[in-house]
Structure 1
Amino acid sequence: MSRHKDSVGAKTVLRRIGLALISARARAIMSIGIVLGLGAVGTLAAWSDSATATSGTFTTGRIDIKLGADPAVDNDPSAFTTTMKKVDLFPNDTRSANLIVSNSGSVGFTYSIQAAVTSTTGLGALLNSSVYLGSADGTNTGCSGALLSTVTGLSTPQTFSHQDRPITGQGTTLPLPPPVTENLCFVVKMVGATPSTPATGTITYTLTATSS
């Protein structure tokens, strides 16, 4: 009887040990499952979304100063060149010519005026030049309108001292309206004595537009 009880007791102990091992293994598997579950939650948290907003169109302004009646011409209009000249110039002689300034761009600007003489015999020292806001008279020896300023001694480049003239831009609406214009009149006058050696030269007027 003692052996039978011992045998039964040994089986019981072994069964309990087995159950304990199985239970420990199950808990280990459950623990692994919990870890994996946490990992899955972390993956879900990495999802993302985005949205965008686009601005309207930006277009740069265009600054474009033109001289003369023909809006296709930028420099040296032929009418001004033909009129602003004089052969056999004597002291106190004058000559005048019109010049149309146009803003063909989309933004307003101010412009300054500079005059300089190109000469081989010092003609610039004998000449003065004035600019008026107006038109040349019928004889092309004077100007009507308000005097803006005068420069003297054109042997070196001289800038007219009046405040820079403003011209409004045309805006950005298409098609663009006709250019905004301003009428100027230039007068050239010889001062001083007639030189003993004939002097010949040309005057270049440079109009520089600036937009702020």
Structure 2
Amino acid sequence: MNPPNRSPLRCALESLTSTRVRILLTLGIVLGLGTVGTMAVWTDNSTATSGTFSTGTVSLLINNANPYNFTSLTLASMLPGESRAAILQVQNKGSVPLKYSMSATTPAGSPALTGFLQVTIFPGASPTNTTTNGMRTGGCTGTQVGQATLAAGASVNLITTVRELAATTGVDDLCVVAKLSATAPTTVQNQTLSAVTFNFSATTV
């Protein structure tokens, strides 16, 4: 029932106004809570810094040189069965351990004599060279780790089972024997093999 002296329209407007006030009050509470939720919070950050990074070095030398002039392994006017021994020191001067293999190469156009020269490798041995009844003989003690007959204008493998050298100070003394086969024919007389190149291939362990 409408209060006396108040028209139905006035009562409706008052009711609508009251409802809007309640809605606005409710929004005010919600907005107020939202405002509390955006208050600043304490934060912090932390970091971790790595150490330095650097690359290693691979440095393989022969008798402190690269290349090395292996003139101690030479023998002129060889006869069948004669041989010569000389030492090669393989050195690792790099900062990382390595393993190496060894081969021998002769120049293109090398004479037939090449195919009758045999090279044998002994580790950790000292060479001996003697002459008995005019026959020159070179030798090394120990157990061989490689052997091959040379090939004209080609490469042959001498050490196929890789040998390891420690970083910086690794050393491997190799005694090398070059021998002319006792069965070398007379057709290879007066021939000269100008050079044999010993190749050492190193990789990291």
Q: How high is the TM-score relative to the length of structure 2?
A: 0.73
Q: Which has the higher helix share?
A: 1
1:117, 1:123 within 8 Å by CA — same for their partners in 2? no
Partner of 1:136: 127
Preserved CA contact (<8 Å) 2:80 2:180: yes
CA RMSD, Structure 1 to Structure 2 (Å): 3.6
SS at match of 2:5: helix
Give the corresponding residue for 2:199.
206
Cα distance in 1 for residues equivalent to 2:35 and 2:56? 56
Give the structure 1 partner of residue 158 of structure 2.
160
Shift, 1:187, TM fit: 1.3
**Mapped contact 1:111–1:164 kept (Cα < 8 A):** yes
Q: Which residue of 1 aligns with 2:21?
A: 26
* Cα deviations by residue, 1:149-208 (Å, 9 ceiling, x for unpaired): 2112433322125632221224xxxxxxxx221211211111212415633331111111
| Number of equivalenced pairs | 192
1:57 aligns with 2:15: no
TM alignment of 1:61-100, pairs within 5 A: 61-68=56-63, 70=64, 73=65, 75-78=66-69, 80=70, 82-100=71-89
Shift of 1:44: 6.5
Percent identity of equivalent pairs: 30
In the superposition, the TM-score normalised over structure 1's length comes to: 0.71
Which structure's residues are more often strand, by fraction? Answer: 2
What's the CA shift for 1:137?
A: 2.3
- Paired residues for 1:169-208 under 5 Å: 169-170=167-168, 179-191=169-181, 192-194=184-186, 195=188, 198-208=191-201
Partner of residue 133, structure 2: none
Asked if 1 retains the 8 angstrom alpha-carbon contact of 2:104 and 2:150, the reply is no
Asked if 1 retains the 8 angstrom alpha-carbon contact of 2:96 and 2:166, the reply is: yes
Alpha-carbon separation, structure 1, partners of 2:16 and 2:190: 128
Gap regions ≥5 residues in structure 1 = 1-5, 171-178
8 Å contact kept, 2:88–2:173? yes
Unaligned runs of 5+ in 2: 131-135
Residue 93 of structure 2, aligned match among 96, 104, 109:
104
